[in-house]
């Protein structure tokens, strides 16, 4: 075949896939969604879903990439030319996700520099809202973050994506473990652990199950062709199932550790665990300012967040980048340059939607919220839904011997054809309400 890149080894593939999965979704979003949905009971439902239902589309997406050895549009097209347009939805989703994901990346850069310089802020809430409302500064931050991700992707699989993941992922794990220890040593930390691990069954409801499902899909990076593209670089992996287990277990471990890092600290200072998106940018800095060596802890925390966001940001860009390279027959550097400008064009209005453009509303939402809403609630689940149906009904994946155990393969097939599509439909319908 042509000169498509491939992974250097199975290890680099797994580390990179884990890098894609472990991102802001685990460290920023997971704790606050958990905080808003009742703590331990949410965690229990989440673990149940991630080890059953989510396993299916994850294997599916990687497998379709591995089978077709093409980027998204080509992969769908080679299953049937009719599906080409469904394939094209994937890189489009990626570009839209990039345009708001990278804004948060920009905020992280600000907090890193803040932790380096000084940490004397009077009111954390107004500091954060001022930051996101300052037009030029926040746009520059977004563009810096975008540039870093694009730069890594432009260097290619071996010298860019693999290298960065091989360095940042172990670093991320080390910092996380250190911060967990710090947090557990704060006074009254056991209250946080209780909140995380002692379920209150009265909080169990359908809405919360869907929130857990949405979170699981987002954190595993399902539904925009990132994994399909990563799968297409696999040379031969006899045990895709084993790799998927490793990815799921690692991703869940990172999310739980992020919770153990955050909740004991929050309870130790008698703060609210359900403060939403500001948990990491408002509540935590307030805690850092009150603990010994807070500056260093703060710096480490935001470096942790930065590493997680970079390795995921890379995966968001690699999908559309591969599509441009293979469909338009252009070089990787050219593809990345085009993507930089396209994403910037969307990301700048989204960044400004916290301040200058805050009165522009689409469906009653700011530009940032709207982009988040149509991708997380509609496009990601819809893409995953299409791919499950295509694999289950059209590709007849049942005959493809992905899983050696016949009964498990039977369950997998049922999941692909019925269970996951129904779950995704519920997610879409409830999400659109
Ligand atoms: N999984 C990443 C996170 O948890 C985000 C992400 C990266 C993503 N690539 C994706 C989400 C593809 C959906 C689709 O932060």
Q: Which two tokens stand for residue 135?
A: 């037009």
Residues paired with residue 362 on neighbouring β-strands, in sequence order: 365
Q: Are 165 and 311 in contact (CB under 8 A)?
A: yes
Rounded-to-integer distance, Cα 358 and Cα 205, Å: 34
Average pLDDT over residues 232-255: 91
User: How far does the centroid of ligand 1 lie from the alpha carbon of residue 375, in Å?
Assistant: 11
Pocket flag, ligand 1, residue 228 (CB < 6 Å): no
User: How far does the centroid of ligand 1 lie from the alpha carbon of residue 226, in Å?
Assistant: 8
Of the residues 217, 220, 247, 315, which should be mutated to test ligand 1's pocket, given the most ligand atoms within 8 Å of the CB?
A: 315
Pocket flag, ligand 1, residue 24 (CB < 6 Å): yes
Largest CA distance in the chain: 63
User: How far does the centroid of ligand 1 lie from the alpha carbon of residue 219, in Å?
Assistant: 5
Q: What is the DSSP string of 97-146?
A: HHHHHHHHHHHHHHHHHHHHH----S-HHHHHHHHHH-HHHHHHHHHHHH
Per-residue burial over 319-348, b = 16 or more CB atoms within 10 Å of its CB, e = otherwise: bbbbbbbbbeeeebeebbeebbeebbebbb
pLDDT, averaged across the chain: 93
User: Is 120 a residue whose pLDDT tops 80?
Assistant: no
* Stretch (H or E) spanning 91: helix 84-117
Rounded-to-integer distance, Cα 238 and Cα 103, Å: 38
Tokens 């693999």 correspond to 162
Average pLDDT over residues 67-78: 96
Pocket flag, ligand 1, residue 376 (CB < 6 Å): no
- pLDDT above 90: percentage of residues in the chain: 80
Q: What does the DSSP 8-state code read for residue 398?
A: G
User: How far does the centroid of ligand 1 lie from the alpha carbon of residue 309, in Å?
Assistant: 9
Identify which of 175, 177, 151 has the alpha carbon closest to the alpha carbon of residue 164: 151
* Stretch (H or E) spanning 383: helix 380-389
User: Is 143 a residue whose pLDDT tops 80?
Assistant: yes
Pocket flag, ligand 1, residue 218 (CB < 6 Å): yes
Q: Are 220 and 247 in contact (CB under 8 A)?
A: yes
User: How far does the centroid of ligand 1 lie from the alpha carbon of residue 16, in Å?
Assistant: 12
Pocket flag, ligand 1, residue 324 (CB < 6 Å): no
Rounded-to-integer distance, Cα 100 and Cα 105, Å: 9
User: Is 157 a residue whose pLDDT tops 70?
Assistant: yes
199's CB contacts (< 8 A; 6+ apart) are 39, 40, 41, 43, 44
pLDDT band with cut points at 50, 70 and 90 for residue 1:
very low
Average pLDDT over residues 368-379: 92
User: Is 139 a residue whose pLDDT tops 50?
Assistant: yes
Number of C-beta neighbours around residue 408 at 10 A:
12
Of the residues 16, 18, 25, 34, which should be mutated to test ligand 1's pocket, given the most ligand atoms within 8 Å of the CB?
A: 25
Of the residues 96, 221, 280, 313, which should be mutated to test ligand 1's pocket, given the most ligand atoms within 8 Å of the CB?
A: 221
User: How far does the centroid of ligand 1 lie from the alpha carbon of residue 214, in Å?
Assistant: 12
pLDDT band with cut points at 50, 70 and 90 for residue 2:
low
Write down the number of H helices and E strands in the chain. 22, 0
CA-CA-CA-CA torsion sign (103, 106, 110, 112) = positive
Q: Which two tokens stand for residue 286?
A: 């307030």
Summarize pLDDT for 164-219 with one digit per residue, the tens: 999 999 999 999 999 999 999 999 999 999 999 999 899 999 989 988 999 999 99
Q: What does the DSSP 8-state code read for residue 6?
A: -
Give the global pTM. 0.95
User: Is 122 a residue whose pLDDT tops 80?
Assistant: no
Counting from 1 in the atom list of ligand 1, the atom nearest the Cα of 315 is 9
Q: What does the DSSP 8-state code read for residue 249?
A: H
Rounded-to-integer distance, Cα 161 and Cα 12, Å: 9
Pocket flag, ligand 1, residue 58 (CB < 6 Å): no
Residue 119 is predicted with a pLDDT of 61
CA dihedral in degrees (421, 426, 432, 433; nearest 10)? 170
Rounded-to-integer distance, Cα 208 and Cα 41, Å: 9
Residue 405 is predicted with a pLDDT of 85
Summarize pLDDT for 265-289 with one digit per residue, the tens: 999 998 888 777 788 998 888 888 8
365 phi, psi to nearest 5 deg: -125, 155
Can you list the domains of the chain with their CATH numbers? 10-431 (1.10.4160.10)
Rounded-to-integer distance, Cα 288 and Cα 282, Å: 10
Residue 292 is predicted with a pLDDT of 86
Q: List the residue whose alpha carbon is closest to atom 12 of ligand 1.
A: 221
Pocket flag, ligand 1, residue 30 (CB < 6 Å): no
Of the residues 96, 102, 218, which should be mutated to test ligand 1's pocket, given the most ligand atoms within 8 Å of the CB?
A: 218
Summarize pLDDT for 317-351 with one digit per residue, the tens: 999 999 999 999 999 999 999 999 999 999 999 99
């Amino acid at each position: 075949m042509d000169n498509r890149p491939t992974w250097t080894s199975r290890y680099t593939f797994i580390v990179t896939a884990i890098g894609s999965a472990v991102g802001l979704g685990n460290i920023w979003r997971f704790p606050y969604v958990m905080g808003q949905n009742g703590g331990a009971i949410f965690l229990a439902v989440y673990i149940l879903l991630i080890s059953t239902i989510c396993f299916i589309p994850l294997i599916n997406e990687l497998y379709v990439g591995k089978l077709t050895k093409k980027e998204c549009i080509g992969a769908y097209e080679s299953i049937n030319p009719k599906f080409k347009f469904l394939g094209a939805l994937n890189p489009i989703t990626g570009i839209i996700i990039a345009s708001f994901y990278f804004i948060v990346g920009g905020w992280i850069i600000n907090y890193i520099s803040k932790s380096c310089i000084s940490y004397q802020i009077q009111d954390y809430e107004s500091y954060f809202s001022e930051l996101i409302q300052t037009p030029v500064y926040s746009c520059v931050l977004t563009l810096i973050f975008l540039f870093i991700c694009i730069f890594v992707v432009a260097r290619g699989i071996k010298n860019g994506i693999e290298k960065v993941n091989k360095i940042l992922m172990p670093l991320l794990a080390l910092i996380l473990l250190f911060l967990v220890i710090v947090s557990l040593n704060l006074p009254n930390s056991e209250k946080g652990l209780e909140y995380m691990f002692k379920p209150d069954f009265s909080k169990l409801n359908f809405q919360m199950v869907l929130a857990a499902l949405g979170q699981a899909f987002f954190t595993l990076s399902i539904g925009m062709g990132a994994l399909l593209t990563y799968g297409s670089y696999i040379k031969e992996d006899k045990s895709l199932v084993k790799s998927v287990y490793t990815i799921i277990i690692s991703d869940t471990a990172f999310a739980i550790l992020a919770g153990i890092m955050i909740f004991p600290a929050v309870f130790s200072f008698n703060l609210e665990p359900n403060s939403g998106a500001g948990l990491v940018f408002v509540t935590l800095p307030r805690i850092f300012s009150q603990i010994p060596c807070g500056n260093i802890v703060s710096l480490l925390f935001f470096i942790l967040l930065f590493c997680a966001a970079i390795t995921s940001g890379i995966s968001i860009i690699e999908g559309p980048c591969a599509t441009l390279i293979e469909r338009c027959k252009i070089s990787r550097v050219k593809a990345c340059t085009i993507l930089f400008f396209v994403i910037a064009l969307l990301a700048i209005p989204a960044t400004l939607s916290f301040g200058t453009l805050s009165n522009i509303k689409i469906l009653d939402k700011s530009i940032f919220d709207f982009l988040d809403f149509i991708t997380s609630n509609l496009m990601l689940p819809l893409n995953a839904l299409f791919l499950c149906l295509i694999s289950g009904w059209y590709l007849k994946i049942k005959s493809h011997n992905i899983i050696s155990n016949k009964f498990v393969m039977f369950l997998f097939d049922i999941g692909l054809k019925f269970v996951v599509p129904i779950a995704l439909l519920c997610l879409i319908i409830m999400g659109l309400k």
